[in-house]
Amino acid sequence: MSRVAAPFKKKSGVLSIYCTAGFPKIDSTIEVIQALQENGADMIELGIPYSDPLADGPIIQLSSSVALSNGMSIKKLFEQLKGFRQSIHIPVILMGYMNPVLQYGFEKFCVEAAAMGIDGLILPDLPAHEFETSYIDTIKKHKLDFIFLVTPETAEERIRLLDKLSSGFLYAVSSSSTTGSAKDFGRVLTYLDRLEKLKLKNPVLAGFGIRNREDFKQVCNFANGAIIGSAYIQALSQENSVNKATKSFLSSILQD
């Protein structure tokens, strides 16, 4: 069983938190990951900052800009991740965009990610056809999970294809807007109910616009858990102490 699959076997309501590598400071990456693990996150989606993050809303875009200004790069990130598995035991997935990964070298990227102990990849702008024809063998060779995204507008046939191609979980984007956007939760829950009834191969995590405990509890009625990003990044930006911000934020999500 892969490390990504493990939380879904142990519990319902899996909580994955997105953070941006190199934010709020260049050397914050491991501190943030450690704080998330210590305060109850089940999984971490570690964002590779990029100058044109098409799926990301203004809060995560700003965190990427800050991280890039801090000097973060894929090379720097892998340097920071060396040995992190000595203390971090929860799944860590890299989320990024194809342009910087291709500039780094796709095979090299997968080799080094696997060597560091990264569990999987989310690359939203990698089309399914290119994944199948050009990249799947490399990803499988290095035993990395790969997670595709589906939206409320994705047709059932394509949902089933992306579920078949994904491993670890399927990322249910709660709407066609960017991360952090407000939305009609009634429509979100109807969409998640539709996904649940499809009896997909992979567990489903819902993301985009999930901000608080109420949102989290609602989506967990239909999905296997949720990904929270913008609200956590905002919490980090408003508090000088990573540990204090993380403890306060996760407590607000997880505690009754």
132 is catalytic: no
- What pLDDT sits at residue 181? 47
Nearest to 60 by CA among 228, 209, 180, 240: 180
- What pLDDT sits at residue 182? 46
Task: Sketch the domain layout of the chain as residue ranges.
Answer: 12-254
Which superfamily is assigned to 12-254 in CATH? Aldolase class I (3.20.20.70)
Residue 53's pLDDT band (boundaries 50, 70, 90)? Answer: low
Q: Which of 27, 31, 42, 45 is catalytic?
A: 45
Give SS3 for 24.
coil
Distance CA 242, CA 4 (A): 25
Residue 103's pLDDT band (boundaries 50, 70, 90)? Answer: very high
pLDDT per position as a tens digit, 211-226: 999 999 999 999 999 9
Tell me the average pLDDT of the chain.
93
Distance CA 178, CA 222 (A): 21
**What percent of the chain shows pLDDT beyond 90?**
85
What is the DSSP secondary structure assignment for residue 176, as one 8-state letter?
Answer: S
pLDDT per position as a tens digit, 184-195: 678 888 999 999
Q: Which of 56, 112, 145, 163 is catalytic?
A: 56
- What pLDDT sits at residue 131? 98
The helix or strand, by DSSP H or E, that contains position 227, with its residue range, turns out to be strand 225-228
- What pLDDT sits at residue 90? 98
Distance CA 184, CA 192 (A): 13
Mean pLDDT for the stretch of residues 218-243: 95
Residue 178's pLDDT band (boundaries 50, 70, 90)? Answer: very low
Checking if the pLDDT of 113 tops 60, the result is: yes
- What pLDDT sits at residue 228? 96
56 is catalytic: yes
Enumerate the β-bridge partners of residue 146: 121
Q: Is there a contact between 179 and 208 (Cβ–Cβ < 8 Å)?
A: yes
The helix or strand, by DSSP H or E, that contains position 225, with its residue range, turns out to be strand 225-228
